Amino acid sequence: MEWTDRELNGESFDQEDLEGYGFTGCVFVRCTFRHASLVEATTRDCRFDTCDFGDARLNSTIHTNSDFSNSSFDGASLFGARFAGCKMLGASFVKADLSALEVEGGDWSYANLRGQTLRGLKLSGTRLIRTDFYGSDLAGADLTHADLTGASLDKTVLTGADLRGANLSEVDLRNADLRRARIEIEHAVLLAQAYGAIVG
């Protein structure tokens, strides 16, 4: 089933079977997809403004240049989902299954990714401004050239992660696990200053 250029506001798709659907250029505002099945669905150039995907199944979905700003994926399953060039500004993923997630750039600023297992996730070049990674596992993640300005990395596992070229302005690294993480000189300076060292 293909949907193209549709615009819907306040509609409910709760518990609907939308498996394999293709959405192109569609706009959904304050729509709900709670407990819906969107397995292997695709979106391209769509906008989901403040939509609720709570406990929905989005396994193996592919999203290209779509906007999910302020949407909730709390409790949803996104196993193997792929987001390329998507805007996830302020999206929430409380207790969501993000296993085998794939991210290709885009803007995940202000997203709630607290307590998530994101080991080995490639986030190179992604905007992650003030994204909440509190208590998350980013071991081995690729964060090269990502913009992590003001991101919450408190109690975040970054063992073996690659942070080269990342913007860590306003980031408190004191409670992050940085063992074997790859960082640059300026990152080391920031860390030293956070512990009260006078550099220079």
Domain ranges of the chain: 1-101, 129-200
Fold of 1-101: Pectate Lyase C-like (2.160.20)
At 117, the pLDDT band (50, 70, 90 cuts) reads very high
* pLDDT of 178 above 80: yes
Q: What is the pLDDT of residue 1?
A: 86
Cα–Cα distances in angstroms (integers) from residue 46 to residues 5, 55, 108, 120, in the given order:
8, 21, 16, 28
Question: How is domain 129-200 classified at the CATH fold level?
Answer: Pectate Lyase C-like (2.160.20)
Q: Is the dihedral of CA 155, 128, 76, 59 positive or negative?
A: negative
pLDDT confidence of residue 143:
97
- Say if 1-101 and 129-200 have the same CATH topology: yes
Residue 177 has pLDDT above 70, yes or no: yes
User: Which one has a higher pLDDT value, 149 or 181?
Assistant: 149
